[in-house]
Structure 1
Amino acid sequence: MKRILIALLGVLLTFTLAPALPAAAAGTLTWTTDGDVTRYKSAPTTASAGETTIVFENSVATGNNVGMPHTLTFDTSTPGYNHDVTLNILANPFDANDGRHEATVTLTPGRYRYFCAIPGHGTMVGEFVVTDGDPDPDTTPPTVSAAAAGAQDGDGNYVGTATVTVTASDSGSGVDTVEYSLDNAAFQAYTAPVPVTAVGSHSFRYRATDNDGNVSAIGTLSFAVVEPEPDEDVTPPTVDHSLAGPQDDEGNYLGQATATLTASDADSGVARIEYSLDGGAFTAYANPVVVSTPGMHMLHYRATDNAGNTSAEKMAHFTVLPAEEPDTTPPTVLAEVDGEQNDTGGYIGSATVTVTATDTESDVASIEYALDAGAWTAYTTPVVVSGLGAHTVKARATDTAGNRSADKTVTFTVVPTGGGGDCEVPDTRATVVIDGDDTGIENYTLSDGCTVNDKINEYGDYRDHAAFVRHVETVTAALVTGGTLTKRQQGTIVRAAARSDIGS
């Protein structure tokens, strides 16, 4: 009995999701789309088992003149459906086939679910029923019934609105069309439940035709609609959903998806919200639904107000993929010093520092460097250091996951080009530095173009350490006499020379 009810529900749902096509040739099922991202323009509701040609057309001819792409994708994981056909057709009005594509598949009895896999097209979903193929002609008409729903008074009259739902099934060739007539008007196609709001007695006639042309007897449903009381609530709640969670570029949720359901009712207020996940029983909704099982999922939901009005079922489908392991490994940084060197390893005139960084998991976001005691600076091109003396360059990198590497440090010394007192490359450091010892005294530029550091000439040739210190005493005494240095500044520089290892 449960299987029959599920099959009948499948027929009802597919009539409400997409208009049924006219009867197609045996073994051919056709879907069409246009520029709308909320539904398929037309789709089959039934089919016979066996080899079948699938036609998916999303073209200018079917009304898509804006170039909107769609897919026809068969569900291969949601419980309750057949999973034996893998189909994923992408169609665009301007592709090589002008949007019309065909594929051959083999269908088996049961239900198939289909959807559009493009993010943002989440309501383009439906299902169809496949029955056993029968080589004998089908001479049995469909079974069809109708039922009215809505708030009723004590006499059984429908208050404000009666909504008539028609259900049809056919165990032979399958249902082709369902039609209805309200109050003896002409028959018309039934595609969704029919709301009747006119006050008075009504006669609702209905019939169904199968794919072999057998037409059912005409059924009749009689009912009456009465005016609601002035304050009577006959309007069902409005209900909606939202999905949240980390997503990949294709809209799949990584690790888990959280579904939040909301409902509102301006009259009597919302009594309850219910949901069904992947074909399970409807459950009272109290908190957001967290879905972490990998695979495709279907969520049905509805709301009921305090007057007993229940909304139409709505649904959402989404896919959960296994969560990616977070990147906790920082980048690898390499710093290299290049340039012409003398016999003791000093870089003559200048040194060039090149920094590279790699990351095997996420990408490198930034590289920075700091020269001597300077601030961290964004690294974009190799750093050229021409100031004479000892230098330190630190480098580091950060990846797109926020992991920062440890500092990579290189040290080197830049020496004058000539090596004598009148050097070809002036020592333009801001302060007087002797053997890496910063005195804090300004490195004045003199009238001959040389600086105080040039006169001290820490890279010159000296017989011993004492000779270097005497040299510093001599050149600084001359600078005091000339008014460049004070006696206190001279003393500071000479003491730094004495502390150095130059000439040792």
Structure 2
Amino acid sequence: MKRILIAILGVLLILTPTAPAAAEQVLTWKADNSITAYQTAPAQAVAGATTIVFENSEATGNNTGMPHTLTFDTSTAGYNHDVTLNILANPFDANNGRHEATVTLTPGRYRYFCSIPGHSTMVGEFVVTDGGTTPDTTPPTVSASAAGTQNGDGAYVGSATVTVTASDSGSGVDTVEYSLDDAAFQAYTAPVAVTAVGSHTFRYRATDNEGNVSEVGSLAFAVVEPSPEEDTTPPTVTAQIGGDRDGEGDYLGTATATLTASDNDSGVARIEYSLDGGAFKAYANPVVITTPGMHMLHYRATDNAGNTSAEQMAHFTVVPAEEPDTTPPTVLAEVGGEQNDDGAYVGSATVTVTATDTESEVASIEYALDAGAWIAYAEPVVVSGLGAHTVKARATDTAGNRSAEKSVGFTVVSSGGGGEGCEVPDTRATVVIDGDDTGVQNYRLSDGCTVNDKIAEHGDYRDHAAFVRHVETVTAALVTGGTLTKRQQGTIVRAAARSDIGS
């Protein structure tokens, strides 16, 4: 799937209506100068009619004009694909960076991302619950748990990380808040690391979109100083996506994900990954992905002390690879014209060259007459010079493949015999102009005349320049017909220019 970078203002929506929702909701995404993450984004919503707001403006902190998109994934396995949404916004567009769209969400998970090249880490997902059709009077369910390395007394060594989870099967969770050690409640957006040594009380609550507030929950725990040899720091883990890429940054045929982790204390115990919403599995070797489409890779690492890193994400797209064209064109040369009983062509022969290519396209066709140089073929070649001839043809496609030479041989004979066309042909052996012997053979032509007859040195010319132009014209026709070569024509024209004919 190609990422769309067309600078249009507005929203492309392809929507299929679903059952009416209990209440319309507003989900807001905000972006700023960052190219690594959205400033804010929802984590949960309720099924039904929803107003999507995407703001990437000066008001949200974008003072550079950086464009971003809010694009819903419609191909990666494990996510809902029933809403197609692609909003492009920047502070200087017609809406000053703030855009709205109305969609209908269904229960499940949606994945979103920014499709601007280089913004690949601006990606996330949110969960949609079934809001039901009756008024929501039930508060959210909320819980909290602490994680970290514990000593024999259950105290957390060095730090404790508290994660709050809230869900609401009715209107959906609106906000989650927490308070540490009787401080004021504040918004919960990510796991909270508590490093202060001592006993702690962590309180938490959640509010749904109908304003129902949960009971305040409480979690008590203690943090103690680590001994010098104890490891409380999780590993560092990174992902590198490799492979051949096209101009839009998509991977051609194959993408290979290589995961690496390091830990300066107890060492890395294991690396795990999840591809496209699947279960986490142990990482042993680079992961090769060949299925066309968008993909989401989640990964994490754990050290030998039991510390697990925060879960990371990477997304990328694989497109089918195009096989290179290594097959040259097919060339055909055909000779046409009136033939006598011996198969010779009477007066002239016309050679037609055609070329086809089943993979790329034909870029050029060339031909060579007898021992002449290769010439670009544009139209059928008429050969009127008497005698035996050979025409070679070849073609080259747009991938640079050149065909083998195709050759045809034929003979041209006079159409009128001995003297038809010229009563008394000039039969001198070579072309002579005003006594200047050019050394070029005085060929006999199909109409019974010779080259000297065509030059007509004894004709009536307005001036010398007119004679030279006449010689240029008749010899050019003889070159086209295959009687003379370009070199022979040049010799004859120079002799005409040295003469006094027409002076």
Shorter-chain TM-score tier: 0.5 to 0.7
Compute the displacement of 1:302 (Å): 0.8
The alignment status of 1:103 with 2:104, answered yes or no, reads no
Structure 2 letter corresponding to 1:51: A
- 1:366 touches 1:378 (CA, 8 Å); kept in 2? no
Pick from 33, 45, 52: which aligns with 1:54?
52
Q: Determine the structure 1 residue equivalent to 2:89.
A: 91
Query: What residue in structure 1 maps to residue 165 of structure 2?
Result: 167
Q: CA separation of 1:254/1:419 partners in 2, compared to 1, >3 Å: closer, same or farther? A: farther
Instruction: Note the C-alpha offset of 1:254.
Output: 3.8
My pick for the range that moved more, 285-294 or 55-64, is 55-64
1:202 aligned partner, one-letter code: H
Q: 2:294 corresponds to which residue?
A: 296
CA distance in 1, matches of 2:394, 2:265: 66
Cα distance in 2 between the residues matched to 1:192 and 1:164: 9
**Aligned length in residues:** 402
**1:468-479 alignment runs, 5 A limit:** none
2:147 matched residue in structure 1: 149
Structure 1 residues 254-291: Cα deviation after superposition (integer angstroms, max 9, x where no partner): 43322221112222222211111222221111111122
**After alignment, is 44-53 or 280-289 more displaced?**
44-53
Q: What's the CA shift string for 1:357-399, capped at 9, x where partnerless?
A: 7756435678888898899x997999xxxxx998876644243
Deviation at 1:412, TM superposition (A): 10
Does structure 2 conserve the Cα–Cα contact (< 8 Å) formed by 1:141 and 1:215? yes
Contact 2:234 2:307 in 1 (8 A): yes
Structure 1 counterpart of 2:212: 214
Assess if the C-alpha contact under 8 Å between 1:243 and 1:257 holds in 2.
yes
CA distance in 2, matches of 1:67, 1:359: 47
Cα distance between partner residues in 2 of 1:460 and 1:132: 93
Query: Is contact 2:432-2:438 (8 Å) kept?
Result: no
2:474 counterpart residue number: none
Q: Check 1:38–1:345 CA distance in 2 against 1; reply closer, same or farther (3 A cut).
A: same
Distance 1:335 1:31, change over 3 A: farther
**Residues 240 and 262, structure 1, Cα contact 8 Å, conserved in 2:** yes
Distance across 2 between alignment mates of 1:270 and 1:419: 99
Q: Could you tell me which amino acid in structure 1 is paired with residue 190 of structure 2?
A: A
The aligned counterpart of 2:338 is: none
Instruction: Tell me what 1:229 maps to.
Output: 227
Which letter does structure 2 place at the counterpart of 1:176? D
Alpha-carbon RMSD: 4.3
- What residue in structure 1 maps to residue 17 of structure 2? none
TM-score by length of 1: 0.66
> Does the CA contact (< 8 Å) of 1:331 and 1:399 recur in 2?
no
- Whether contact under 8 Å (1:158, 1:224) holds in the other structure is yes
* Alignment of 1:274 onto 2:251: no
CA contact (8 A) 2:294 2:316 kept: yes
**TM-score, length of structure 2 as denominator length:** 0.66
Give deviations 1:160-193, integer Å, cap 9, x for gaps.
Answer: 2211111111222221111222233322211111
Deviation string, structure 1 residues 120-171 (Cα, Å, up to 9, x no partner): 3222222222233355443332222221111122222222221111111122
- Answer yes or no: is the 8 Å Cα contact 2:276–2:297 preserved in 1: yes
Deviation string 1:199-232 (CA, Å, 9 cap, x unpaired) is: 3332222222222222223222222222222233
- Helix, strand or coil: the match of 1:61? helix
Q: Is the 8 A contact 2:394 2:403 kept in 1?
A: no
Indicate how the Cα distance of structure 1 residues 232 and 378 shifts in structure 2: closer, same or farther if over 3 A, else same: farther
Identical counterparts, % of pairs? 74
The 2-side partners of 1:378 and 1:155 are apart by 92
Structure 2 residue identity aligned to 1:222: A
Asked if 1:404 corresponds to 2:363, the answer is no
- In the alignment, what sits opposite 1:77? 75
Q: 1:283 aligns with which of 257, 263, 281?
A: 281
Cα distance between partner residues in 2 of 1:292 and 1:59? 38
- Secondary structure, aligned partner of 1:171: coil
- Could you tell me how far apart the structure 2 residues matched to 1:48 and 1:90 are? 25
SS in 2 for 1:87: strand
- 1:214 and 1:182 map into 2 onto residues whose CA distance is 22
Q: 1:216 to 1:399 in 2, by over 3 A?
A: same
Aligned equivalents of 1:160, 1:419: Cα separation in 2: 113
Which residue is equivalent to 2:318? 320
Correspondent of 2:131 among 113, 133, 137: 133
CA distance in 2: counterparts of 1:395 and 1:424, whole angstroms: 37
CA distance in 1, matches of 2:164, 2:443: 101
Selected match of 1:239 from 237, 240, 254? 237
Change (3 A) 1:226 1:368: farther
Give me the whole-angstrom Cα distance separating, in 1, the residues matched to 2:372 and 2:303.
68
Q: Distance in 2 between matches of 1:197 and 1:380?
A: 81
Equivalent residue number for residue 192 of structure 2: 194
Partner secondary structure for residue 55 of structure 1: strand
User: Relative to 1, partners in 2 of residues 1:91 and 1:422: Cα closer, same or farther, differing over 3 Å?
Assistant: same
In the superposition, relative to structure 1, how do residues 345 and 236 fare at CA in structure 2: closer, same or farther (>3 Å)?
same
Q: Is the 8 A contact 1:330 1:404 kept in 2?
A: yes
Q: Which residue of 2 aligns with 1:265?
A: 263
Q: Distance in 2 between matches of 1:28 and 1:399?
A: 53
Match of 1:308 in 2: 306
